[in-house]
Amino acid sequence: IRQCGFTCAIVAALMITLNSNGADIPAEREGMLEAIRESVRDSASYTGRSELSDRVMTAMASVPREEFVLPAYRHQAYDNTPLPIEAGQTISQPLIVALMTDLLDPQPGDVMLEVGTGSGYQAAVLSGLVDHLYSIEIVEELAASAAEVLVKLGYNNITARAGDGYADWPEHVPFDGIIVTAAADKLPPPLLKQLKPGGKLVIPVGAKHGYQELLLVEVDESGEISKRSVLPVRFVPLTGDR
């Protein structure tokens, strides 16, 4: 064991690289970042961007995805794929998490809303990029487990709660940005009303389990709404009584 301890320490040292902030990045996570960079380049003709911002990539590098997946999938935590979580839901593909975060263009003073906390991974990525994140999850069991892991890992600028994110969270509106991580059949009017002038909404819209597109919706200073289709996607549906 002692011998392995010494050898393993050397191997571990060799398997760690440094990110632009000088922080250690485990080799598996660096592999995920490289897969994201490659997929972003491959999808540039759809998305209009051949790379994502350094701030977003640094945030992706900082979050231990293995803490947000089920124990049975820990060995796949850094694959660039969605994975099952509790309650038949999914943790999104790292590429999509990074792209949606980049589209939101989060700034240090921003207050944002996430609809669909799921595992809490997307919330953790946004945590380092904004002043405060409110995150809402309709499945109580998931809301509770995500809140627990986020607290355990020290993400202390996230307020997470159980509820239907289609409606508003009146105490905290308006938001600089809203990210919806489940597919709506159309743009939800209550969410559009919660955006500040200049705010952005990133949301998958389309048929349940069918064709969906990721939309970037922007409200300008005069309240004018514009929307752009960014990429065909496949998300679990936005649920709730309507």
DSSP the chain: -HHHHHHHHHHHHHTEEE-TTS-EEEHHHHHHHHHHHHHHHHTHHHHS-SS--HHHHHHHHHS-GGGGS-GGGGGGTTSSS-EE-GGG-EEPPHHHHHHHHHHH---TT-EEEEE--TTSHHHHHHHTTSSEEEEEESSHHHHHHHHHHHHHTT-TTEEEEES-TTS--GGG--EEEEEE-SBBSS--HHHHTTEEEEEEEEEEEE-TTS-EEEEEEEE-TTS-EEEEEEEEE--PBP-S--
Q: Which of 95, 113, 138, 233 binds ligand SAM (CB under 6 A)?
A: 138
Give the shortest CB-221-to-ligand SAM separation in angstroms. 29
Give the shortest CB-98-to-ligand SAM separation in angstroms. 12
Which part of the chain contacts ligand SAM (CB under 6 A), choosing from 17-25, 73-81, 138-146, 213-221?
138-146
Contact 136/172 with Cβ under 8 angstroms?
A: no
Give the shortest CB-164-to-ligand SAM separation in angstroms. 4
Give the shortest CB-1-to-ligand SAM separation in angstroms. 37
The residue among 47 and 101 lying less far from ligand SAM, judged by its C-beta, is 101
The residue among 71 and 223 lying less far from ligand SAM, judged by its C-beta, is 71
- Please give the Cα distance from 40 to 23 (Å, whole number): 23
The residues, ordered by sequence, that sit 6+ positions from 80 with a Cβ below 8 Å of its Cβ are: 32, 35, 36, 39, 93, 94, 95
x/- map, 95-134, ligand SAM, by CB under 6 A = --------------------xx-xx-xx------------
Q: Which of 164, 172, 174, 187 binds ligand SAM (CB under 6 A)?
A: 164
Q: Which of 36, 52, 56, 91 binds ligand SAM (CB under 6 A)?
A: 91
Q: Which of 50, 62, 92, 119 is catalytic?
A: 92
Which part of the chain contacts ligand SAM (CB under 6 A), choosing from 22-30, 44-52, 159-167, 223-231?
159-167
Query: Has 226 been annotated as catalytic?
Result: no
Establish if 240 lies at the interface with ligand SAM (CB under 6 A).
yes
Establish if 139 lies at the interface with ligand SAM (CB under 6 A).
yes
Chain positions contacting ligand SAM, by CB under 6 A: 89-92, 115-116, 118-119, 121-122, 136-139, 142, 164-166, 181-182, 235-236, 238-240
- Report, as residue numbers or ranges, the catalytic residues: 92
